[in-house]
Amino acid sequence: MDLPALQQWLQIATSIATLIALLIGMMQLRDVRRSLELSTNLAILQGTRQVWGAALTNPEIAPELMKERWGDQPSQALFAANLIDHFEGLYFQYRRGAISRLYWRSIEKAILAHMRSPAIRGVWEMYKERYWSPFVHYIDAALPPLDGPGR
């Protein structure tokens, strides 16, 4: 092989290697951005839960807050809301990669079974706009329509 042909071949190989390195770098940057976005969402969810936890344990604030948000009989709705909050946290952890896909499948069955109950579904329909939009889309897609047959 002559020197000019070898130089041309090396130039092509170098260009391809550079392109591959750039693509890998772009994919890593996308993953970092997604991870930062998910971490920010988790921090917001955790902060919100801490604020609600503080309010619900304050004897001066809790009775009025519960009555305002959940009416005169708040216990069932409060339980359902806490359960949905827990499910949202699990879903978030799954999306973040902290829960494996295999393990998630068993968790998902339990979540959807609970979400199909009329009491929990009622709370979901009333308050779902307050949840993380990917979680809302996931639950709404997984649940049967309210007037349709169960899945």
pLDDT value of residue 44: 73
Total number of domains constituting the chain:
1
CB 70 within 8 A of CB 60: no
- Tokens for 66, please give them: 């519960």
Residue 12: which pLDDT band, with cuts at 50, 70 and 90? confident
CB 92 within 8 A of CB 135: yes
Q: Is residue 12 part of a domain?
A: no
Q: Is residue 106 part of a domain?
A: yes
Dihedral sign computed on CA atoms, order 86, 87, 89, 94: positive
Q: Residue 59 in 3-state DSSP?
A: coil
Q: Is residue 137 part of a domain?
A: yes
- Over residues 86-115, the pLDDT tens digits come to 899 899 889 988 889 999 999 999 999 999
- Tokens for 62, please give them: 């809790």
- Over residues 16-40, the pLDDT tens digits come to 888 888 888 888 888 777 777 777 7
Q: What is the mean pLDDT of residues 79-90?
A: 88
Range of the domain at 92: 35-142
Count other Cβ atoms within 10 Å, centred on residue 142: 13
pLDDT value of residue 1: 66
